[in-house]
Chains A and B, each alone.
Chain A
Amino acid sequence: MSAQADPAQRVAIGISFGNSYSSIAFTSSEGKAEVIANEDGDRQIPSILSYVEGEELHGGQAKSQLVRNAKNTVAYFRDFLGQDFKSIDPTPAHQSAHPVESANTVAFKIRDSEAEEENTVTVSEITARHLRRLRQSASDYLGKDVNAAVVTVPTNFSDAQKDALKSAAKDAGLEVLQFISEPTAAVLAYDARPDAKLTDKIIVVADLGGTRSDVTVIASRGGIYTILAAVHDFDVSGSKLDQVLIDYFAKEFIKKHKSAGDPRENDRSMAKLKLECESVKKSLSIGQSANFSVESLAGGVDFTATINRTRYDLLGNKLFGAFTRLVSHAVEKADLDPLDISEIILAGGNSHTPKVASAVANAFPESTTVLAPSTSPTAINPSELAVRGAAIQASLIQEFEADDIEQSLHPMVTVTPHLSTAVGVLLISGDESNGIFHAIVDAETPLPVRRTATISTPREGGDVLIKLVEGARHIKVTKPEPKPKAEKADDDDEDSDDDDSEDEDEELREKTWKIGAPIAEAALRGVTKGAKVEVQINIQPDLSVTALFREVGGKGGVRGQVQGKAANGSA
C-alpha cells in the first residue's frame, strides 16, 4: 500500500460503477475529462462478467453471453455489494446468474474455472474482478499503471456498501481516493466545462438508469454543492422501458407465429428479446424508427419488425409520466417550487430518449433549462456525466495525501450552516413596503460566504442609502381574467370542472421576493453622477455580517459589522 499511498506515484482515474454499465475516464493534461474506451471500443462497459471454460469475459462480450451462458454470467451486481441477502432485490438478475446467500453476504454460484464443479464467488470478489478489468483497460489506454480512482456511488449508498466497494477496489489494486455521489459528479461535469459560468442556481439531476432512477435536487452556490433532497425509485427504470418493448414485440410475434409460442416463457428467447429490445431502444433515441430483428426468437422462427418513435413514446408513456412525477416530487421534497429550478440535468443512459427530456421539460416552466442530448446540442452525453465528474475530481485530489483527503471529507469540514433566507439590498426606495428587493446572497448558501455586487445609483448621484434586508422567495400566483371561464360555466356543468383544472394550469406563476427583516443600513455620501456602488457582504458561520460599501473606483467607503446572535448561530 505504501507505494500507492505516495501521491507522486498515483495515477488516478474516475470510475462510474453502475448496475448496468460502468465507465472509466481520466483528465488529460489540458484538464479535459476523457472517457476511456475498453478493448472492445465500448465507452459504456456493461457491468457483466461471464465465464466460459475458465475464461473470463467482460463487458460487451460478457453481455452477449447472457443468451447462451446465462448461468455463468454475473450481471447487475452493484447494488448487492455490502448488503446481506435479506435486503437485496434479485429481480434484475433474473436473466443471469442468480444470487445466493453465503456467509452473511451475497454470492453467485458459477463455473469460473475449467473444472466441472461450481464455485461460490462472493459479490465482492465479482466486483474486484470487474474493477480489475476496468483498471486494466484504463492502464492499457494510458500506458501507465492506474492505481487510484474516484468512484461514483448513488446518494443512498450506505457506509457498509462503500466499505465493501473500497475493499473490493483494494483487491483490484485500486486505492479509492474518494466516493462522490453520482448527481454531484454530473453537476461537476457540467461546471468543469471551460465555458461554464458560475452562477447561483438550483439544479435537479434526474438519473434514469438501467435498474433504478434517482432524482436529486442540488443547490449550487459559487461552485459549492449542497444536496437538498433526493428520491429513488426502483420501479422506474430503463429495464422497465425494455420490458414495455419486450411485451410489444412478444405480442407482435405471437400474432404472426401463433404456433411458435410466447418467447417470454423461454429463458433463451427472453434473453434474446431483452438484448435486442435494448438496442432497439438505443436506436430509437437517434432515429425515427428502428428495426427489430432476432434470428430464431422462439420455436426456430426468425422475427423481424419495425417500430417508430411515436409508437415507442406511446408505449412508454406511463413510465415517462412516472419519471416526471418523480422529478416533481423531489422538487416538492426540497420545499421548492418548479420556478426555483434553473437547470435539470438528465443523466443515465435512458436520458438519450427524446421523450424523457420533453416530458420533464413540459412539467417545468420555460425558465428551466433541461440539459439532455435532445434538448440542448451542447449537452454532455448523459451516460458519461458521472464518470467525467469523477475524473475531474480525481485529477483535483490525486496529489493530496490520503490523510489530507480524509480530513477534508470529515463532517467537521463538510457540515456547515446554510442561510435559510436570501440576503440582498433594497432598491428604488428605502421603505420596506415600496422598495424592490434584489438578492446578493441566495438562500441555502453555505457559510462562510463572500459576495460582491455592483448597484446603480440615482441618475443625479448624491447621497444614497443602502439597506441590507433578508428576503424570502415567494411564488406569486395570478389568475387570468375570469371572464371566459364564466361564459363556459354557463354552457355545461360537467365541463366546468375540466375548465377549472385547465385554468389552474394556465395560472400565471411568478417568482417574487417577500421582504423580510432588515439587517443593516448604511449611507454613502456624495456619489458622483452615473457612478456605481460596490457592495461586498461577508457572512460568517456565526451569522455575523461584515459589509463594505464603496463607490466603484472610489476610495474609502463605509464598512460595518453586524454581530451574529449566538443563539441563532448554533441553530
Chain B
Amino acid sequence: MSAIVEINLPLPVLPEGWAGEKDFKPVGSLSKTNDRKIEPVGPHFLAYARRVRHKRTFSEDERIQAQANVKSVEEEDPDDIDEPEDPQMLLREAKDWKSQDHYAILGITRYRWKATPEQIKRAHRRKVLKHHPDKRAAAGGTEDDQFFKCIQKAHEVLSDPVRRRQFDSVDEAAEVDPPSKKDTQKGNFYKLWGKVFEAEGRFSTKQPVPKLGNAKSTKEEVENFYNFWYNFDSWRSFEYLDEDVPDDGESRDQKRHVERKNNAARKKKKTEDTARLRHLVDDALALDERIKLFRQAEHAEKNKRRFAKEAEQKRLAEEAAKAKEEEARLAKEAEEAEKAQKLEGKKAKEAAKNAAKKNKRVVRGAVKDANYFHASGNAPASQVDAALNDVDAIIAKIDNSELATLAGKLNNEKDAGKIKEIFKAEDERLGLGSKSLA
C-alpha cells in the first residue's frame, strides 16, 4: 500500500472530562460514496482483485502473499539438498568405475536420467568442494584420493552425452519392474504401469512419449499409446557392459576376438531387450481394462445397431398387419351399411305405397263426397263412371308427393263445390281436360 502519511502538526491535548468506552467514541458515520469503476491495471489492482475475489482483508492478504513468496524462493534452488552419502560408497576404488553408480556418486539419485546437464555440473562442483583431497588432508585425514577420482570419473561419464546414454542404458537403479498381475488387479493399474512406461520411455528417440493416461482416456489416446509402444524406437545400447578390449597390441587376434564377442553380446542384449519390451507391452495390454471396455462398447454399439434394425423391421411388419386389419374392417362396415340402406329403402317404399293407397282412397272418397261432380241428386251411373275415370286419370298422371298434397287439400273437405274446384284446378294443371269436371 501507499507510503505512510507523515503529519507534523501536533495532536490536540485531551480535554478535561472526556470519556469514552475503552477510550473510543464513535460519533458519526461516513457520508455517501460514489460507485466508480476502477481501472483493471497495474500491480496494485491485481492485489486488490486478489483480495476481493478471495474475500481477504489487507492483513490476511499480506500474510498469504508473504508465505507464497517464501515458498517460491525455496523452489528456486531445490538442488542444493545434499543426499546422504553411503559410507560404503566413500570407500570405492576408482578402478572399479564401471560398476559404480555415477548418479549416486554425485548425489543426484533423485533425478538420474532426468538430471539436466546444469544439475550434473552443480552436483559435481558440490562434491568436489567437499571431497577434494586437499580438504581431506586439511581435515587431518589421509591423502586418499580414491573417492575424488570416482567423482571425476562419474562427472566424465555423465557430462559426455554419448557416454551418459551408454550408462543410462544399463542403469539398473532407474529401472522400474513391471507390477505383478495381482498388484494391478487391486485397481492401481494406471499408477503402477504408468511408472513403468515412464521409465521405459527414457529410451525413446521420439519425444515426448505418450502417457498411459487413466480410465477416462479416449479410445484414440489409448490406441495411440499402444501403437507407439509397439513401434518403439529405442536408443538403448549395451556398450557399457563390454568386456575390456586388450589394448597392448600384443595379440591382434585376441583383440579382434574380444571385439567380436562384444558385438555379439551387444546384439544379443539388444534383441533380448526388444523382446522384453514387447512382452512388457503385451502384458500391459492384456491387463488394460480400457481395451476391454472399448471392445464392450463397440460390441454394445453393434448390438444396439442390430437391435435397432430388428426393432425397425418388427415395427414395419406390425404396421403392415395393422393396415390390413383396418382395411378388412372398413370393407365390412361398408357392406353392413349397404345392407341397412337396402332394408331402409324397402321399408320406405312400402310406406310410400301405403300412403299412396291411402291418398288414392281419400281422393276417390272425395269424388264420392262431391257426388261425382253431379249437380244435385243421385248421380247417374254414367256420370259416376266418367268422374271416377277422370279421377283415376289424374291419379295416374300425378306422382306420390303431388297425390299427397292433393289428398291433403281434399281431406276434411266436405263441400262438393270446393272439392270440384280442387279437382278442376288439378285437372287444368295437368291439362287433361276431363269431361266430368267441365
Contact = CB atoms under 8 A, between A and B. Distances in A.
Interface of A: 178, 180-181, 184-185, 188, 191-192, 197-200, 218, 221-228, 389, 392-393, 396-397, 407-409, 411-421, 423, 425-430, 435-436, 438-440, 444, 446-448, 450-459, 462-467, 470, 516-525, 533, 538-539, 543, 545, 547, 558-565, 568-569, 571
Interface string B1-44: 11111111111111100101011111111111111111111111
B89 interface: no
B322 interface: no
Contact of A543 (B23, B29, B53): B29
A553 to B, nearest CB: 14
B202 to A, nearest CB: 23
13 contacts: A222-B44, A413-B52, A414-B40, A418-B34, A420-B32, A452-B4, A452-B5, A454-B7, A465-B15, A523-B18, A558-B22, A563-B26, A568-B32
B41 A180 contact: yes
B49 interface: yes
Given A523-B18, A525-B23, A470 B11 contact: no
A47 B24 CA distance: 62
B53 to A, nearest CB: 6
What 10 A-B pairs have minimum CB-CB distances, sorted nearest first?
Answer: A223-B44, A560-B24, A417-B33, A463-B14, A453-B5, A222-B2, A427-B9, A408-B49, A225-B39, A562-B26
B30 A181 contact: no
B29 A466 contact: no
Contacts of A200: 2
Given A222-B1, A407-B53, A564-B30, A417 B15 contact: no
A525 B9 contact: no
A565 B4 CA distance: 28
B7 A453 contact: yes
B41 A185 contact: yes
A392 B46 CA distance: 12
A486 B58 CA distance: 59
Contact of B10 (A226, A227, A417, A456): A456
A524 B31 CA distance: 26
B228 interface: no
Given A218-B39, A221-B2, 18 more contacts: A181-B39, A198-B1, A222-B44, A223-B42, A224-B38, A396-B42, A418-B34, A420-B32, A428-B10, A448-B57, A453-B6, A455-B11, A517-B28, A517-B31, A519-B29, A539-B30, A543-B30, A568-B31
Interface of B: 1-15, 18, 20, 22-46, 48-49, 51-53, 57-58
B49 A418 contact: no
B37 A523 contact: no
Nearest to B49: A408
B114 to A, nearest CB: 18
A465 B14 contact: yes
Contacts of A452: 4-5
Most chain-B Cβ atoms within 10 A of its Cβ — which of A413, A419, A444, A533?
A413
A438 B7 contact: yes
Given A200-B2, A417-B35, A519-B26, A450 B13 contact: no
B22 A520 contact: no
Given A423-B30, A430-B12, A225 B53 contact: no
Contact of A464 (B6, B11, B44): B11
Contact of A393 (B28, B32, B41): B41
A474 to B, nearest CB: 15
Contacts of A428: 9-10, 12
A568 B33 contact: yes
Contacts of B51: 448
Contact of B20 (A411, A522, A561): A522
Contacts of A228: 36
Contact of A184 (B14, B25, B39, B43): B39
Given A185-B41, A226-B37, A427 B7 contact: yes
Contacts of B20: 521-523
B27 A408 contact: no
Contact of A415 (B10, B11, B29, B36): B36
Nearest to A548: B24
Contacts of B43: 223, 396
A423 B22 CA distance: 22
B26 A226 contact: no
B31 A470 contact: yes
Nearest to B29: A565
Given A223-B44, A393-B42, A545-B30, A453 B49 contact: no
Contacts of A430: 12, 15
A232 to B, nearest CB: 17
B32 A446 contact: no
B5 A451 contact: yes
Most chain-A Cβ atoms within 10 A of its Cβ — which of B3, B10, B28, B41?
B41
A208 B6 CA distance: 37
B12 A465 contact: yes
B40 A538 contact: no
B29 A178 contact: no
Nearest to A421: B31
Contacts of B9: 427-428, 436, 438, 455-456
Most chain-B Cβ atoms within 10 A of its Cβ — which of A389, A411, A450?
A450
Contacts of A415: 35-38
Most chain-A Cβ atoms within 10 A of its Cβ — which of B3, B24, B43, B58?
B24
Contacts of A222: 1-2, 44
A416 B35 contact: yes
Contacts of A559: 22, 24
Contacts of B25: 520-522, 560
B71 to A, nearest CB: 15
B33 A223 contact: no
Contacts of A467: 12
A392 B43 CA distance: 9
Contacts of A517: 28, 31
A522 B23 contact: yes
A227 B41 CA distance: 12
Contacts of A419: 30, 33
